[in-house]
Amino acid sequence: ISSAWAEKATRLRSVVSDVLPVDVHQSFPLSPEFLPPSGADCLVSSFCLESVSHDLLSFNHALGHISSLLKKGGYLLLIGALGESFYMGAPGLYIPVVPLDESQVCASLKASGYELLQLCIYHLPPDMKVGVDDVTAVFFAKAKKV
């Protein structure tokens, strides 16, 4: 490992005090004892909500549930897949995913009490489509809880 990566790893270990389980399908996905009373300043969700939700409604509920963890004016960085209906967990094991499109992501954020600040879409080129999923694009959404 290079010294730059070793330094980053050491710095990260010095600031991360715990890793906590979160159940996005519960109204209160994390025990309040782990958050300041006003909520978190920032949340990051990367390829999670669409992977653990069985349909758009449960995706929207999960997004709303994690909103309860964030303080008013706090930021959400939501990263996910567009057009994906499955990913391969192991050979022959296909895990279903909610196939989202750009308008659904925008509508879900708005309905969950967010102001969308930035949305970037990365369309996968053919050489990145290798058969482990059927994703067409990746989105990066920066939103503010209003």
- 40-46 vs 70-82, strand pairing mode: parallel
CB of 27 within 8 A of CB of 66? no
Is residue 23, in this structure, part of any structural domain at all? Answer: no
Is residue 3, in this structure, part of any structural domain at all? Answer: no
Angle subtended by helix axes 56-67 and 102-111, to nearest 10 = 40
Is residue 106, in this structure, part of any structural domain at all? Answer: yes
What is the band of 2 on the pLDDT scale with cuts at 50, 70, 90? confident
Mean pLDDT for the chain?
93
Is residue 141, in this structure, part of any structural domain at all? Answer: yes
Tell me, what's the pLDDT at 17? 81
Is residue 90, in this structure, part of any structural domain at all? Answer: yes
Number of domains composing the chain: 1
Rounded Cα distance between 31 and 20, Å, is 10
Is residue 27, in this structure, part of any structural domain at all? Answer: no
Closest to 83 (Cα-Cα) out of 138, 120, 126: 138
The torsion region of residue 101 among left (phi > 0), alpha (psi -120 to 50) and beta comes to beta
> Tokens representing 101?
């499109």
State the CATH number of the domain containing residue 96: 3.40.50.150
Is the pLDDT at 1 greater than 80, yes or no? no
Reported pTM = 0.85
**Which domain, by its residues, includes 119?**
34-145
pLDDT digits (tens, 9 = 90+) for 40-89: 999 999 999 999 999 999 999 999 999 999 999 999 999 999 999 999 99
Terminal CA-CA length for the chain: 42
Q: Could you tell me which residues are beta bridge partners of residue 138?
A: 81, 122
Rounded Cα distance between 12 and 10, Å, is 5
pLDDT digits (tens, 9 = 90+) for 79-136: 999 999 999 999 999 999 999 999 999 999 999 999 999 999 999 998 888 889 999 9
